[in-house]
């Protein structure tokens, strides 16, 4: 959420930013916000005048009562009562304007960083750098669910009977591999109205499950609860930065394409995720941004998976994000990269929405918040299986993961046992 003072002083910058995000339907919000802001300030000023007058009159009442001038004091009391009634009406207006102003401010996108490329959607994202050499073997790599089934490692049919499409059971060594990746990612990171506060209304509607009859949502990432834990807090400056890594089950609607490459465990309703969260000084946020996406790259490279990073263009940025990049893993079967994680700097958009402040020497201020996907195993598993798949159907286990797999260096499919 933008600072109303910034919008008031820089309306043209805000409008241009909306245009860069190709959300021209939101341009009207700027005028609506400015109009509400003017009304709100007028109402607040009038309220201050009324309270000042009431205080002055109340002092007069005390003086008149001490002087025995009860009739004059009573006349002034009538004036005070009228002011009190007017204040009630005025305060209701102030509450209304404040609420409407906040709601509209929350719909205006965050100011994007000057380095963000301008583009309409993810097709115009820009490749930054490749890490590791993508390769295409001289033998066929099966579809990821076929690989899992060769190890008796997945049961989609039973999951469909229980919960419908978009769910799965992992079994045996594939389940063990899933757990190993999560544990390794956690150790790797150690070494190295909350929902409306952390994401836009549009994202909530498109992505998240709302619990019927409750003011509760199923989280789509642990970012929601991890940032939310600071809601309404004034943080000591000496405690910054807060650096956290968190594991959680996640739930998403996953609307959109469901072609052959989107089936299996690529696009699912429930999955596990290891996330990294940072709450830091504003001037340090882009330094942290660059560190965070590099952690994900290092993790994937340690598992022998080639990756690349893509700079998200303006039209692909969610409203709260100032800058974001995707990490994509190489798929030798598809002969292309696919998304496995993302890193985002939200500057003070989340902290302003949630009322998270830092106690500074010259007053309180809003910290910056960042999030980064360390690993989301369903897609990680696809990348891992394809990039470590051998011609005989076995799967190599990289050395860094072997201790999490009981010392196993290679998985052998059931047909070869």
* pLDDT confidence of residue 191: 54
Domain with CATH 1.10.287.40 in the chain: 4-105
Q: Tell me what the mean pLDDT of segment 247-262 comes to.
A: 54
> What is the C-alpha separation between 67 and 415, in angstroms, rounded?
105
Q: What is the pTM of this model?
A: 0.81
Q: Tell me what the mean pLDDT of segment 25-29 comes to.
A: 97
For the ranges 24-38, 235-249, 278-292, the lowest mean pLDDT is seen at: 235-249
Hey, what's the torsion of the CAs at 93, 94, 97, 101, to 10 degrees?
Answer: -170
Of these ranges, 19-33, 180-194, 205-219, 363-377, the one predicted with the greatest mean pLDDT is 19-33
Q: Examine the pLDDT at 210 and tell me if it is beyond 70.
A: no
Which CATH number applies to 4-105?
Answer: 1.10.287.40
Q: How many Cβ atoms are within 10 Å of 30's Cβ, its own excluded?
A: 18
Summary mean pLDDT of the chain: 86
Give the sign of the dihedral formed by CA 398, CA 402, CA 405, CA 410: positive
Q: How far, CA to CA in Å, does 409 sit from each of 184, 388, 400?
A: 15, 11, 10
Give the sign of the dihedral formed by CA 135, CA 136, CA 141, CA 143: positive
Structure confidence at residue 194 as a pLDDT band (50, 70, 90): very low
Phi and psi at residue 389, to the nearest 5°? -85, 130
pLDDT tens, 310-323?
999 999 999 999 99
Among the four given CATH numbers 3.10.129.10, 3.20.20.70, 3.30.930.10, 3.40.50.970, the one describing domain 122-416: 3.30.930.10
In terms of Cα–Cα distance, which of 321, 327, 322 is closest to 308? 327
Q: Examine the pLDDT at 251 and tell me if it is beyond 90.
A: no
> What is the C-alpha separation between 273 and 77, in angstroms, rounded?
64
Q: Examine the pLDDT at 198 and tell me if it is beyond 50.
A: no
* pLDDT confidence of residue 166: 65
More confident residue, 153 or 190: 153
Q: Tell me what the mean pLDDT of segment 343-348 comes to.
A: 97
For the ranges 29-38, 188-197, 281-290, 298-307, the lowest mean pLDDT is seen at: 188-197
Domain with CATH 3.30.930.10 in the chain: 122-416
> What is the C-alpha separation between 273 and 186, in angstroms, rounded?
10
> What is the C-alpha separation between 97 and 92, in angstroms, rounded?
9
pLDDT tens, 123-147?
999 999 999 999 999 999 999 989 9
Structure confidence at residue 196 as a pLDDT band (50, 70, 90): very low
Q: Are strands 357-360 and 234-236 parallel, antiparallel or unpaired?
A: parallel
Q: Examine the pLDDT at 269 and tell me if it is beyond 80.
A: no
Residue 365, H or E segment: strand 363-365
> What is the C-alpha separation between 311 and 122, in angstroms, rounded?
10
For the ranges 165-169, 246-250, 273-277, the lowest mean pLDDT is seen at: 246-250
Sequence-distant (6+) residues with CB within 8 A of 181 are 303, 375, 377, 380, 381, 384, 401, 404
* pLDDT confidence of residue 200: 45
Q: Examine the pLDDT at 270 and tell me if it is beyond 70.
A: no
* pLDDT confidence of residue 321: 96
* pLDDT confidence of residue 204: 44
For the ranges 22-31, 173-182, 318-327, the lowest mean pLDDT is seen at: 173-182
* pLDDT confidence of residue 212: 52
Q: Tell me what the mean pLDDT of segment 290-316 comes to.
A: 95
pLDDT tens, 72-103?
888 899 999 999 999 999 999 999 999 999 99
* pLDDT confidence of residue 64: 87
Q: Tell me what the mean pLDDT of segment 29-57 comes to.
A: 95
Structure confidence at residue 265 as a pLDDT band (50, 70, 90): low
DSSP string, 130-193: EES-----SSPPPPHHHHHHHTT-EEHHHHHHHH-TT--EE-HHHHHHHHHHHHHHHHHHHH--
* pLDDT confidence of residue 182: 86
Q: In what order do the strands lie in the sheet with 363-365?
A: 234-236, 357-360, 363-365
Percent of the chain predicted with pLDDT > 70: 84
pLDDT tens, 360-382?
988 999 999 999 988 877 788 89
């Amino acid at each position: 959420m933008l600072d109303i003072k910034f919008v008031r002083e820089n309306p043209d910058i805000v409008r241009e930013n909306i245009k860069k995000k190709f959300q021209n339907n939101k341009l009207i919000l700027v005028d609506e916000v400015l109009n509400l802001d003017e009304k709100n300030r007028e109402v607040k000023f009038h309220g201050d005048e009324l309270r000042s007058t009431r205080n002055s009159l109340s002092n007069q009442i005390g003086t008149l009562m001490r002087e025995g001038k009860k009739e004059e004091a009573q006349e002034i009391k009538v004036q005070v009562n009228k002011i009190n009634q007017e204040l009630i009406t005025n305060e209701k207006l102030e509450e209304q304007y404040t609420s409407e102003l906040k709601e509209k401010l929350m719909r205006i996108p965050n100011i994007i960083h000057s380095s963000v490329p301008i583009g309409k959607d993810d097709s115009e994202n820009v490749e930054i750098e490749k890490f590791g050499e993508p390769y295409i073997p001289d033998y066929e790599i099966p579809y990821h669910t076929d690989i899992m089934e060769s190890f008796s490692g997945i049961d989609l049919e039973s999951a469909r009977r229980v919960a419908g499409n978009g769910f799965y059971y992992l079994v045996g060594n594939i389940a063990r591999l899933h757990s190993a990746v999560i544990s390794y990612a956690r150790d790797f990171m150690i070494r190295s109205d909350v929902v409306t506060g952390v994401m836009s209304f549009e994202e909530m509607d498109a992505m998240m499950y709302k619990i019927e009859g409750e003011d509760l949502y199923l989280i789509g990432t642990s970012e929601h609860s991890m940032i939310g834990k600071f809601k309404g807090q004034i943080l000591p400056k000496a405690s910054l930065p807060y650096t956290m890594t968190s594991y959680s089950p996640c739930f998403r609607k996953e609307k959109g394409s469901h072609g052959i490459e989107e089936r299996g465990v690529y696009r699912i309703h429930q999955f596990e995720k290891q996330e990294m969260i940072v709450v830091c000084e504003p001037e340090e946020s882009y330094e942290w941004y660059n560190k965070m996406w590099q952690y994900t790259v290092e993790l994937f490279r340690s598992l022998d998976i080639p990756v690349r990073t893509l700079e998200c263009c303006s039209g692909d940025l969610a409203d709260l994000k100032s800058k974001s990049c995707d990490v994509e893993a190489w798929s030798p079967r598809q002969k292309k990269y696919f998304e496995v994680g993302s890193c985002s700097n939200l500057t003070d958009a989340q902290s302003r929405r949630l009322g998270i402040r830092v106690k500074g020497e010259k007053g309180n201020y809003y910290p910056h918040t960042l999030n980064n996907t360390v690993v989301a195993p369903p897609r990680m598993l696809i990348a891992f299986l394809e990039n470590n798949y051998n011609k005989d159907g076995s799967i190599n286990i990289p050395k860094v993961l072997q201790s999490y797999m009981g010392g196993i260096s290679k998985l052998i499919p059931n047909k070869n046992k």
